[in-house]
Amino acid sequence: MKLSFRNNVVSLAAETPEERAICALLRAADCHIFQLHAATDRGMAFSEIGPEEDARRAPLNIVQSIAPSFAPISNLAHTPFELGGQHYASIEGFWQGLKRLDPVERRAMAKLWGGEAKGRGGSVDQPTEFVYEGVSITAGSPEHWALMRNACEAKFTQNSEAREALLATGERWLTHKVRRDSRTIPGVIMADIWMRIRSKIQEEVVTLR
Ligand X SMILES: Nc1c(N[C@@H]2O[C@H](COP(=O)(O)O)[C@@H](O)[C@H]2O)[nH]c(=O)[nH]c1=O
CB of 152 to ligand X, least distance (A): 10
| Alpha helices, DSSP H, located in the chain | 17-26, 52-55, 91-97, 103-110, 114-122, 142-158, 160-167, 187-208
How far is residue 78 CA from its own chain's centroid?
14
Considering only residues 132 to 151 of the shown chain, the ones binding ligand X according to CB under 6 A are none
Nearer to ligand X, 109 or 190 (CB): 190
Work out whether 79 is an interface residue with ligand X (CB under 6 A).
Answer: no
Whose Cβ is closer to ligand X: residue 51's or residue 122's? 122
**What would the x/- binding string for ligand X be over residues 95 to 134, using CB under 6 A?**
x----------------------x--xx---x--------
- Binder of ligand X out of 165, 185, 191, 197 (CB under 6 A): 185
Does residue number 92 form part of the binding site for ligand X (CB under 6 A)? yes
Q: How far is CA 193 from CA 92, 108, 115, 196, in A?
A: 15, 25, 22, 5
CA distance 120 to 76: 12
In whole angstroms, give the CA distance from residue 92 to residue 113: 6
Q: What is the CA radius of gyration of the chain?
A: 23
Task: Tell me how far, at minimum, the Cβ of 74 lies from ligand X, in Å.
Answer: 4
Give the interface size with ligand X as a residue count (CB under 6 A).
16
Asked if 61 touches ligand X (CB under 6 A), the answer is no
Nearer to ligand X, 76 or 163 (CB): 76
32/47 Cα distance (integer angstroms): 10
Q: Do the strands 2-6 and 9-13 form a parallel or antiparallel pair, or are they unpaired?
A: antiparallel
- Contacts with ligand X by CB under 6 A lie at 63-64, 74-76, 92, 95, 118, 121-122, 126, 178, 182, 184-185, 190
